[in-house]
Amino acid sequence: MKKFIILLSLMVLASCKTNKIVTTSSSTSANEPAKTGIQQLPLTSVDLAHKTRAYELGKRILNTCNTSKFKPFTSDEATQSIINNITLEKLSKTCNRYRQSYGDFKDLQLAEIYQDYDDSTTVFRYKALYTKEVANKELRVYMNNENKVSGIKSMDWETTFERKK
């Protein structure tokens, strides 16, 4: 009888063995935790086409200050909220202030690229160059995973990156 109970107990323990359930996603492996937060990327690690697109779209915004003409973004270039919020009228207000303080816009200089894993965006951080030397501005172009502009922000240049959107 003792042998039977021991054998039955072993069989119950063997049948209750847990199986490890493995789930995979396209962005992470089963052994690797999902990435969160913001990580700076080497400038060379981002595809040239993505860098070029962010540069051209950011430059289009700031060139409006020099030309007073703005070609609206298309649905292939930007999210609908950006298309709705960036108008020539809104840009003109900002441009008038910037031209008085900083002079004419000259160019953008790519300084840093960050990957924001929390909202799946790539942040291109540019130094905005103006004709007046006092200008110390930056332009951030937020590109989503579809390579569309999902945010644009102009601010004073800070040497350290802080998450602001």
The answer as to whether 56 is a domain residue is yes
Instruction: Give CA torsion, residues 36, 40, 41, 46, to 10 deg.
Output: 80
The verdict on residue 147 lying in a domain is yes
Question: Contact at 8 Å (CB) between 41 and 114?
Answer: yes
Cα angle 49, 50, 56 (rounded to 5 degrees) comes to 85
Classify residue 117: in a domain, yes or no. Answer: yes
pLDDT band at 2, cuts 50/70/90? Answer: low
CATH classification of the domain holding 61: 3.10.450.590
Cβ distance 149 to 141 under 8 Å? yes
**pLDDT, tens digit, 9 for 90 and up, residues 110-156:** 999 999 999 899 999 999 999 998 889 999 999 999 999 999 999 99
Overall domain count for the chain: 1
Range of the domain at 60: 37-156
| Within-domain flag for 112 | yes
Quick check: is 93 in a domain?
Answer: yes
Q: Is 163 a member of any domain?
A: no
pTM: 0.76
